[in-house]
Chain A
């Protein structure tokens, strides 16, 4: 990933080559949803296998939302799979996407959550983004936030997009890539 393209591009790396699917009598949109559901199931198998081996309890919730599969591991005592600042969660999501790619031949944009981490982080980031936008507007100069994961930057960009008088860009290279809130 180079330059200052929006972070959305991080996830858009591969667009699907449609595979011949046994549900070929389905309409394209229905087939797309069936594919995403299948992604979720492959992902769930991969993660359940891991949970069994490491003797962790967690229920798997599967969903399809905004054109991507959502896989959530629900339960307590999952902190080791979240890691500091969610780093283990991001890494497990990356491996899970690769496991889906391996089985389907199609790059996956699936979103993994563990122990409600992303939901909590979304709320925190909403507050951080709003406060930073207010500072930028009051002081009349850009505000640079701390380095964040692609997911976190996306949440911040979405929040800033809703605030008048500011917009946001990402700067720098992973893992120090960060959001800058600009006036205008």
Chain B
């Protein structure tokens, strides 16, 4: 459910919605949602000075509760 929620939020704001992938990892340090997008959309998901990524974290923090981490994965790295 959390993956689907974040996927929906990201798909709505990018040029390549079909390339959005979100995976949930339950690690020792808690739950992490890993977001992968088309390389050209990376800037859109992060936003100016990280503003959009912060908004995604804040909304998902409300939906999924505290301790939910969100990583935007830079696939080119």
Q: Across the interface, do B62 and A94 meet the contact criterion of CB distance under 8 Å?
A: no
Chain A: how many interface residues by the 8 Å CB criterion? 21
Residue B32 interfacial (CB < 8 Å): no
Chain B interface extent, by class:
20 to 34
Closest to A96 in B: B12
Residue B1 interfacial (CB < 8 Å): yes
- Residues of A contacting B13 with CB < 8 Å? 95, 98-99, 101-102
- Given A53-B1, A94-B52, A98-B13, verify A88-B8 contact (CB < 8 Å): no
- Given A53-B4, A54-B5, verify A95-B62 contact (CB < 8 Å): no
Residue B73 interfacial (CB < 8 Å): no
- Given A53-B8, A54-B1, verify A102-B62 contact (CB < 8 Å): no
List chain A positions with a Cβ less than 8 A from chain B.
Answer: 46, 49-50, 53-55, 80-83, 87-88, 90-92, 94-95, 98-99, 101-102
List chain B positions with a Cβ less than 8 A from chain A.
Answer: 1, 4-5, 8-9, 12-15, 44, 51-52, 54-56, 58-59, 61-63
Question: What are 8 A-B interface contacts by the 8 Å CB criterion?
Answer: A53-B4, A55-B1, A83-B62, A91-B59, A94-B51, A94-B55, A95-B56, A98-B13
